[in-house]
Chain A
Amino acid sequence: MTALLKSREAILLAAILALLALIAARFPGFVAPSNLVRVFTDTSPLIILALGQMCVILTRCIDLSVAANLALTGMVVAMLNTAAPDLPVAATLAVALALGAVLGAINGVLVWKLDIPPIVVTLGTMTIFRGLIFLLSNGKWINAHEMSASFTGFPRAEILGVPMLAWIAIAAVLLLAVVIARTPLGRAFYAVGGNPHAAVYTGLNVGRTQFFAFMISGALAGLTGYLWVARYSVAYVDIAGGFELEVVAACVIGGISIMGGIGSVGGALLGALFLGVVKNALPVVDISPFWQLAISGSAIIIAVAFNAQSSRGRGRVILRRAEHRT
């Protein structure tokens, strides 16, 4: 099993490298180190969100409210910044993480205690969050000149030539890798998603595990909310509209099974990077915008087909063994 996962990540990595080579053939500047840093930075929000989404999908759930959570948290911190421009960035980050976690916890509680299907819960909260932004802001934009310099400057601040935004994504990847591999909670994600009934018999609380997955996803979405608003220096109702689908797509491309229980941090990272490279490359290689949509879509379908293929193989093996025993 691990070998399969590893090889799947290797295939994806090879696909990304092949893609980069292809792009470099048409536009050599794309693979310059400074540009690769730029592409990674541009993909950072997607990476952070994909990590959270991965936790949720591992537990056989889905979180469609991440983009709305991002937009709501982003609007709140932007409004906070206009009200109190001197608030230190650390406090803004804390507020973003906390608010995001609370919004994620709302999803989690609904799934855990009321046993509503996650797709319905998060579809509902997605709309509610967007509506709340409207109520909070009256539909008005918060613009660059209303935000303080430290607020918008933080994600751009460079350490060793790499912007803070990218460092945060790297930190999130490392943190999640540890949580997934080395904590009881991380292992519980796999157990709950792989076989919920078996998980119950081993003493795991399925609902509670899903609740924490949603909370992690929410906290990361909240964090991204601040980073997003600061990076584009604008907050309004529709920011990151439709982004939740891109996040799910990144996970799917990264080999995280939508049926739960299969997936890895590396997969989420590579899936997000694959989409990020495609999105950043298409504008410079001069491909018609109509093709851009078709290319992104094909990548997702190919990945899903690949996943379906591998899980089907696994099923057959089990059946054959059962056959031999009887």
Chain B
Amino acid sequence: MGVFKRLMTGAAVAAAMAGGAQAQDDPVRIALVVKALGIGFFEAAHKGAEEAAEELGNVEIIYTGPTDTTAEGQIEVINSLIAQRVDAIAVSANDTDALVPALKKAMDRGITVISWDSGVAPEGRQLHLNPSSSPLIGNMIIKLAADHLPDGGEVAVLSATTTSTNQNVWIEEMNKVMGDYPGIEVVATVYGDDLADKSYREATGLMQTYPDLDAIIAPTSVGIVAAAQAVVDAGKVGEVNVTGLGLPSEMAGAIESGASKSFAIWNPIDLGYSATMLAYNLATGEAEAAPGAEIPMGRMGTLTLDDNTEGAMADPFVYDASNIDEFKSIF
């Protein structure tokens, strides 16, 4: 498996080099390492990275990652990138700590390392680009539900697993701002384990336990789709609004059926674009990653780093019936 992956990465790089060599002698080679290949979200980020590369000119994007979402797979990919002497690695990590030794090795060899989307511990990267900040997301998911409930109402949360860090932090942040949404009551938090069948069952259970439920907030892409299907099957379209975080391609059916009025997700194209811009600026020495630094990222403005050298890109982007058709074919 390891050899196979290395060969694959090698072949991809060779192909990329063959293409790039004609245009530029020594382009800045930025590797975009994703959690796993073949995920729509990351394919879209790749699109954004290519957009940034085109804008910058002298940049070559190496889009790579393991075939399954494991830290081991990513370490192999990173080691092969070090061997290829890329200029920068921008990684969405499968594990906060496991990648640190490999990434440290990369930094020791003078390679710029940043993490984006899913972060690496501070000692393993120069900066981390959050797609959004947890407070912004926590506020957004409750706002999405509240916007359609002017007179208040009951909402329930359908999360991933009980141990999913992301979801737990978002729900915590959501609870902090509940005071801004008078009349909205969170009646339950249930866990669908990111399995379609369990999420469906939990959503059905919510509608049974709380007959007056007005909205289900699912800050997870598997859960939101399953909840929407459960609402359709229960014949509660129009009564229960499913919202949260999901991908436009996966949620197009739910928007069409009316089970979901709107949902949000960061724009992965913007994310890939910003990560590439940041990696380029650091690799070429135009900016330095330090607490408080402001690093330009093209059309997305600037990233302000906090004490942990982390920064947030923007508010999550809201998708509804007006723009779903445009985005469903993208990611």
B-binding residues in A (CB < 8 A): 27, 29-30, 35, 38, 42, 45, 134, 137-141, 143-145, 156, 228, 232-234, 239-243, 279-280, 282-284, 286, 289-290
- 11 new A-B contacts, CB < 8 A, other than A42-B201, A134-B67, A280-B204, are A27-B209, A140-B38, A141-B40, A141-B250, A144-B253, A144-B254, A145-B256, A240-B197, A280-B205, A289-B190, A289-B191
Binding site for A on B (CB under 8 A): 36-40, 67, 162, 188, 190-191, 195-198, 200-202, 204-206, 208-209, 225-226, 229, 233, 249-250, 252-254, 256-257, 328
Question: Are A239 and B328 in contact (CB-based, < 8 A)?
Answer: no
> Using Cβ atoms and an 8 Å threshold, which residues of chain B touch A284?
205, 208-209
Q: Inside 8 A of B206's CB, which chain A residues have their CB?
A: 283
- For A134, what are the chain B residues with a Cβ–Cβ distance below 8 Å? 38, 67
A283 in contact with B202 (CB, 8 Å): yes
Query: Are B229 and A145 interface neighbours, CB within 8 A?
Result: no
Residue pair B208, A35 in contact (C-beta under 8 Å): yes
Chain B residues with CB under 8 A of A30: 208
Residues in B whose Cβ lies below 8 Å from that of A143: 225, 249-250, 252-253
Residue of A nearest to B39 (CB): A139
Q: A233-B253, A290-B162 are in contact. Are A139 and B191 (CB under 8 A)?
A: no
CB distance from A77 to the nearest CB of B (A): 16
Distance between Cα atoms of A189 and B147 in the complex (Å): 60
A289 neighbours in B (Cβ, 8 Å) = 162, 190-191
Pair A29/B253 contact, Cβ less than 8 Å: no
Which 6 A-B pairs have CB atoms at the shortest separation, nearest pair first?
A139-B38, A283-B205, A144-B253, A145-B253, A145-B252, A232-B196
- Rounded to whole angstroms, the CA-CA distance of A282 and B162 in the bound complex is 15
Whether B208 lies near A138 (C-beta < 8 A) is: no
10 contacts between A and B (CB under 8 A): A29-B208, A42-B201, A140-B38, A144-B253, A228-B197, A232-B197, A232-B229, A234-B225, A234-B250, A280-B204
Question: Shortest Cβ distance from B2 into chain A, in angstroms?
Answer: 16
* Contact A283 B229, beta carbon cutoff 8 Å: no
Contact A233 B229 (CB under 8 A): yes
B249 touches A141 (CB 8 A): yes
A139 to B37, Cβ gap below 8 A?
yes
Contact A232 B200 (CB under 8 A): yes
Q: A280, B201: Cβ atoms under 8 Å?
A: yes
- Provide the residues of chain B in CB contact with A228, threshold 8 Å: 197
Name the residue on B nearest A235 (C-beta).
B196
A280 to B254, CA, bound (A): 24
Contacts of B202 in A (CB 8 A): 283
Task: Name A143's closest neighbour in chain B (CB-CB).
Answer: B250
Q: How far is the CA of A69 from the CA of B198 in the complex (A)?
A: 19
Q: Which residues of A contact B254 (CB under 8 A)?
A: 144
On chain B, the residues within 8 Å of A137 by CB distance are 38
Given the complex of chains A and B, what is the CA–CA distance between A222 and B191 in angstroms? 28
Q: Across the interface, which residues of B come within 8 angstroms of A286, CB to CB?
A: 188, 209
Question: Is A139 within 8 A of B197, CB to CB?
Answer: no
Whole-angstrom distance between the Cβ of B57 and the nearest chain A Cβ = 30
Residues of B within 8 A of A38 (CB): 204
Determine the residue in chain A with the shortest Cβ distance to B206. Answer: A283
A283: chain B residues at CB < 8 Å are 190, 201-202, 204-206, 209
Separation of A283 and B191 alpha carbons in the complex (Å): 9
Q: How far is the CB of A274 from chain B (nearest CB, A)?
A: 16
Chain A residue at minimal CB-CB distance from B190: A283
- Please measure, in the bound complex, the distance between the C-alpha atom of A241 and the C-alpha atom of B197, giving whole angstroms: 10
CA–CA, A29 and B40, complex, Å? 40
CA distance A17 to B42 in the complex (A): 48
Give Cα A197–Cα B226 distance, bound, in whole angstroms. Answer: 49
Residues on B with beta carbons closer than 8 Å to the beta carbon of A42: 201, 204
Q: Report B-chain residues with C-beta under 8 Å of the C-beta of A141.
A: 40, 249-250
Residues of A with C-beta under 8 A to B198: 279
Contacts of A233 in B (CB 8 A): 225, 229, 253
Identify the closest chain B residue to A281 (Cβ): B205
| Residues of chain A with a CB closer than 8 A to B197's CB | 45, 228, 232, 240, 243
A138 to B226, CA, bound (A): 22
> In the docked arrangement, what's the CA distance between A27 and B209, Å?
8
Q: How far is the CB of B251 from chain A (nearest CB, A)?
A: 8
User: Which chain A residues border B195 with CB–CB below 8 Å?
Assistant: 241-242
Chain A residue nearest to B253 (CB atoms) is A144
Q: Do A138 and B201 touch across chains, with their CB atoms under 8 A apart?
A: no
| B251 to chain A: closest residue by CB | A143
For residue A166, give the distance in angstroms from its CB to the closest CB of chain B. 13
Would you give the shortest CB distance from B130 to chain A, in whole angstroms?
A: 24
Q: Could you say which residues of chain A place their CB within 8 Å of the CB of B205?
A: 280, 282-284
Which partner residue on chain A sits nearest B202 by CB separation?
A283
Measured in the bound complex, the distance between the Cα atoms of B249 and A228 in whole Å is 20
Q: Which residues of B contact A242 (CB under 8 A)?
A: 195
Which of B67, B162, B196, B257 interacts with A239 by CB under 8 Å?
B196
* Min CB–CB distance A154 → chain B (angstroms): 13
Most buried by B among A134, A243, A283, A289: A283
Which residue of A has the minimal Cβ distance to B226? A232
State the CA gap A240–B188 with chains docked (Å): 25
Q: Which of A145, A232, A240 contacts B328 (CB 8 A)?
A: A145
Do B201 and A139 touch across chains, with their CB atoms under 8 A apart? no
